[in-house]
Amino acid sequence: MQHTLFISDLHLCDTRPAITAAFGDFLSRIASQADGLYILGDLFEYWPGDDYITAGFHDSTIASLSALTQAGLPIFFIHGNRDFLIGEAFARTTGVTLLADPSSIMLYGKRILISHGDALCTDDVAYQVFRQQVRQPDWQKNFLAQPLDQRIAIIEQLRSASDREKSIKSMDIMDANPDAVRQLLSKHHYPELLIHGHTHRPAMHVHEIDGHRCTRWVLGDWYEQGSYLNVSPSGITTHLL
């Protein structure tokens, strides 16, 4: 049967090998049967630049992605706030296609908008200022010019700063802002579905905007348990691994 899968927020890292194993298993057993796989960001806990490919921490993931794309499965990737430095070298090595955030796709007659989702958290002003800065090509060029171990050390500091800040931000601030959702949907001409991750609050929300009905699916993270969304001509279902 025709179907396409969506995942996000796996946060793969060498200190949680069980998640990497679960992802490998998901790719070979489940994703391999689909028409395509969309990874909507934060596949990795962090990505300091494409020279990380050869650092050895993600060899099995890179090999599994390559095997699947070589076998003919289309895999698409949208950057998350953790792995926005994934670049063309990663795409070439794995065969994954990088897509802009947001991107509009057609599947089984449905128009679907896909995004990581961090840009929707507009109440988190400190984060949006930070995001704007690190998404600039000049900033990225300077950052990537530093040696890999130095970049990783900076990211570790940033992770601590981010965790400290998150502990004092309210849950509301860190969720998608309803007006930002409305604006995004109207700008993209009211797609039937919006799929995103980032907030780690899996849910289905129905939005009625300017007489249009749009369903927003929020994907879950893989910290405790893997999960995915299945879109087929007969409907949408969520699955836990």
Stretch 23-52: interaction string toward ligand LP5, x if CB under 6 A? -----------------------x-x----
Which residues ranging from 104 to 163 are in contact with ligand LP5 (CB under 6 A)? 118, 121, 124, 126-127, 130, 134, 143, 154-155, 157-159, 161-162
Q: Which is nearer to Mn ion, 58 or 198 (CB)?
A: 198
In the DSSP assignment, the letter for residue 12 is B
Residue 35's nearest CA partner among 238, 230, 239 is 230
d(CA 144, CA 146): 5
Question: For Mn ion, which residue of 4, 20, 61, 81 counts as binding (CB under 5 A)?
Answer: 81
**R_g over Cα of the chain:** 18
Cβ-based neighbour number of residue 219 at 10 Å? 28
Binding mask 159-178 for ligand LP5 (x = CB under 6 A): x-xx--xx--x----x----
CB of 11 to Mn ion, least distance (A): 8
Residues binding ligand LP5: what is the number (CB under 6 A)?
24
d(CA 143, CA 30): 37
* Residue 162, contacted partner among Mn ion, ligand LP5, none, CB below 5-8 A by kind: ligand LP5
Give the separation between CA 132 and CA 77, rounded to whole angstroms: 20
Contact status, residue 238 vs residue 201, Cβ threshold 8 Å: no
Contact between 45 and Mn ion per CB under 5 A: no
User: Based on CB atoms, which residue is closest to ligand LP5, 55 or 155?
Assistant: 155
Q: String of b and e for 50-81 (b: at least 16 CB within 10 Å)?
A: bebbeeebbeebbebbebbbeeebebbbbbbb
Nearer to Mn ion by Cβ, of 198 and 216: the residue is 198
User: Which residue in the block uniquely carries the two structure tokens 């200190």?
Assistant: 15
- Which residues of the chain form contacts with ligand LP5 (CB under 6 A)? 46, 48, 81-82, 85, 118, 121, 124, 126-127, 130, 134, 143, 154-155, 157-159, 161-162, 165-166, 169, 174
- Which residues of the chain form contacts with Mn ion (CB under 5 A)? 42, 80-81, 198
